[in-house]
């Protein structure tokens, strides 16, 4: 019996022409074919000799064992009532104001955003007027029972709730919601990769992912199958490395698509595994999928208790590319109302929302409307002045994400 593997293929060179037609059409489509960038994911059960054979297929860009994934567990701060009351009094959440979305002339209009998470509560008032295209890749059905995906989506494009603005880009009217994590917050790379492929085919210009690879879960799964712990750890490390290479290959294909189409920005949470309050020896680097080539890794910022600027959240992993508000973030609660959560999961949708604002800015300018143009503006306009003195660049990236 073989193991389950994710197989990433590039279908841009696959011909569907009849014997009397050209296999490669002229014009921009030919450029797309030559550049590559039509990802297709399949999951196969392969024995060792079959694995070697399939890796030699010229269409195959990468092969990796299926690994478990999990939502990046947010921190409940127990201050929902106080936080929501403060947000209502200010008319907008502190995160919306910190990134400058409350004074931006852009709203994310005509931008398609994808959220790959635990689904969404489509009946929440925060999503009134938004066309939600939902697909389940978790096996637990569409909709959000966990609440994580609803909270993240609310920060990206939620409408005002009870007078409180929670969304960075409330002008978004079309959202692609891929449920890649089940109701208990668990998933695997098969669902995540299929969700990414689907989101790209839906025309998503921004893909937001507040989730991570479950390395300890992979080790435990192997131990449960009878592997000794040291061998299970080694095998999990091999699987992690293979999946990093697979995601790198996928992101190269996403970049190749941008040569002949608008392309997409992929934003992911850096992770919450650090314990900075215990000292520098307790800092952990960005994890997958945020660690993959071309993914915008997001760190979390908090308001300083002394009021001297924003500081890095104690849980935020190091070496992000950019940072955003991630502590005491008020957004949509499943079933209605608002709730306050903390985590790089909460910082990531701020960046995704600002990316939507920059997409609109670029689309309404004489500039080419491409993901590379949007990324350049997203990174170059990040600010360091709102940060407290002494915040290390390794911990906050280029700085606080800012709206046009």
Of 183, 238, 160, 235, the closest CA to residue 71 belongs to: 183
Give, in order, the Cα–Cα distances in Å from 78 to each of 85, 181, 251.
13, 24, 38
Per the structure block, which two tokens stand in for 379?
Answer: 């990174």
Q: Is 278 a known active-site residue?
A: no
Q: Is 117 a known active-site residue?
A: yes
Among positive and negative, which fits the CA dihedral 224, 73, 344, 145?
Answer: positive
d(CA 25, CA 307): 60
3-class DSSP string for the chain? CCEEEEEEEEHHHCCCCCCCCCCCCCCHHHHHHHHCCCEEEEEEEECHHHHHHHHCCCCEEEEEECCEEEECCCEECCCHHHHHHHHHHHCECHHHHHCCHHHCCCCCCCCEEEEEECCCCCCCHHHCCCEEEEEECCCCCCCCCCCHHHHHHHHHHCCCECCEECCCCCCCCEEEEEECCCCCCEEEHHHHHHHHHHHHHCCCCEEEECEEECHHHHHHHHHHCCCCHHHHHHHHHHHHHHHHHHHHHHHHHHHHHCCCCCCCEEEEECCCCCCHHHCHHHCCECCCCCCCCCCEEEEEEEECCCCCCEEECCCCCECCCEEEECCCEEEECCCCCEEEEECHHHHHHHHHHHHHHHHHHHHCCCCCCCHHHHHHHHHHCCECCCECCCCCHHHHCCCECCCC
Catalytic residue among 323, 345, 371, 403: 345
Strand partners, 132: 175
Q: Is 350 a known active-site residue?
A: no
Catalytic residue among 148, 274, 316, 371: 148
CB 150 within 8 A of CB 161: no
Catalytic residue among 40, 104, 117, 331: 117
Instruction: Provide the annotated active-site residues.
Output: 117, 148, 345
């Amino acid at each position: 019996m073989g193991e389950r593997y994710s197989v990433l293929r590039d279908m841009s060179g696959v011909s569907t022409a009849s014997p009397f037609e050209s296999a490669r059409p002229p014009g921009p489509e030919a450029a797309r074919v030559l550049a590559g960038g039509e990802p297709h994911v399949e999951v196969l059960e392969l024995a060792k000799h079959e694995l070697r054979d399939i890796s030699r297929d010229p269409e195959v860009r990468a092969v990796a064992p299926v690994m478990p994934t999990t939502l990046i567990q947010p921190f409940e701060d127990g201050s929902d009532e106080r936080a929501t009351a403060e947000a209502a009094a200010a008319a907008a959440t502190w995160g919306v104001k910190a990134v400058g979305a409350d004074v931006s002339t852009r709203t994310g209009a005509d931008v398609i955003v994808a959220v790959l998470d635990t689904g969404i509560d489509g009946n929440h008032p925060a999503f009134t007027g938004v066309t939600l295209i939902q697909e389940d890749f978790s096996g637990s059905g569409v909709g959000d029972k966990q609440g994580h995906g609803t909270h993240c989506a609310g920060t990206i494009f939620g409408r005002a709730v009870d007078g409180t603005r929670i969304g960075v880009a409330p002008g978004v009217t079309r959202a692609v919601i891929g449920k890649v994590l089940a109701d208990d917050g668990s998933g695997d790379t098969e669902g995540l990769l299929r969700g990414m492929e689907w989101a790209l085919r839906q025309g998503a210009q921004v893909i937001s992912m507040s989730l991570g690879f479950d390395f300890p879960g992979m080790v435990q799964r192997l131990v449960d199958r009878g592997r000794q712990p040291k061998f299970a750890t080694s095998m999990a490390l091999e699987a992690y490395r293979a999946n990093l290479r697979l995601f790198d290959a996928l992101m190269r294909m996403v970049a190749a698509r941008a040569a002949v189409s608008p392309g997409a920005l992929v934003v992911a949470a850096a992770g919450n595994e650090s314990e900075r309050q215990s000292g520098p020896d307790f800092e952990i680097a960005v994890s997958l999928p945020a660690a993959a080539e071309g993914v915008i890794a997001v760190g979390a910022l908090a308001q300083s208790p002394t009021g001297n600027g924003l500081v890095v959240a104690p849980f935020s992993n190091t070496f992000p590319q950019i940072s955003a508000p991630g502590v005491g973030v008020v957004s949509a609660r499943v079933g209605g109302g608002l709730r306050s959560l903390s985590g790089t999961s909460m910082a990531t949708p701020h960046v995704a929302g600002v990316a939507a604002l920059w997409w609109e800015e670029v689309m309404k300018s004489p500039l080419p409307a491409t993901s590379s143009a949007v990324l350049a503006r997203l990174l170059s306009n990040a600010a360091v002045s709102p940060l407290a003195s002494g915040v290390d660049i390794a911990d906050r990236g280029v700085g606080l994400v800012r709206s046009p």
